[in-house]
Amino acid sequence: MQLKSPGSKWDEIDFEFLGNLSGDPYTLHTNVFTNGKGNREQQFHLWFDPTAAFHTYSILWNPQRIVFSVDGTPIREFKNSESIGVPFPKNQPMRIYSSLWNADDWATRGGLVKTDWTHAPFTASYRNFKADACLWSNGKSSCASSRSRSRAWFSQELDSSSQNRLKWVQKNYMIYNYCTDTKRFPQGLPVECRTA
């Protein structure tokens, strides 16, 4: 699933499964782009087989934070850190996309495993899809209205129980965090990583 705005300086919120070899754990990939710049990936191996049953994958996106959750358990929180110069996606309308796409040049074990097209067609199915969002019309967001600001999600944050579950997931199931990748960022980690 992807939320994305159009243009060359787009905003984007990614919640994606990467390819895998049969028998290997599935990798859930998250990323946040602002003004066309991403490089804020976190990846997880889930605590269950995501192909065995339907699961709920959700994104809470409000002016203060973006929270990625699986079956109600938060796995990632990206906080609005504009006060320290970190761009946050909040000024562009986005559309939601869901697709299967070929990213075997990087996504499957770093591009080592290529898509086996003899298994095509590939399918995904969804049920109970729900979206509660601000609408963009005539250059304005409906979030400017007091009705939208009164929606619970507009100011929702993680309570202590959710914070504990987030820490549990990140301690036990996170396999990549851009905030700890000193090889990728030899000149220093991104500023939001240094203040976390």
10-residue block means of pLDDT along the chain (196 residues)? 92 88 86 94 94 92 96 97 94 86 72 81 84 83 68 91 98 97 95 82
Output helix, strand, coil percentages for the chain, rounded to the nearest 5. 20, 25, 55
Distance CA 136, CA 46 (A): 34
Q: Which of 12, 82, 157, 192 is catalytic?
A: 12
What is the model's pLDDT at position 20? Answer: 73
Could you count the other beta carbons within 10 Å of the beta carbon of residue 24? 12
Distance CA 154, CA 169 (A): 24
Distance CA 122, CA 168 (A): 33
What is the model's pLDDT at position 129? Answer: 86
What is the model's pLDDT at position 170? Answer: 97
Cis peptide bond upstream of 121, omega within 30: yes
Residue 12 appears among annotated catalytic residues: yes
What is the model's pLDDT at position 71? Answer: 96
Q: Which of 16, 77, 157, 192 is catalytic?
A: 16
Element (H, E) at 28: strand 27-33
What is the model's pLDDT at position 88? Answer: 96
Residue 192 appears among annotated catalytic residues: no
What is the model's pLDDT at position 196? Answer: 55
Q: Say how far residue 113 (Cα) sits from the centre of its chain.
A: 23
Distance CA 80, CA 97 (A): 23
* Among candidate residues 59, 46, 28, 33, the one with its CA nearest the CA of residue 132: 59
Say which residues have a Cβ less than 8 Å from residue 122's Cβ, sequence separation at least 6.
Answer: 100
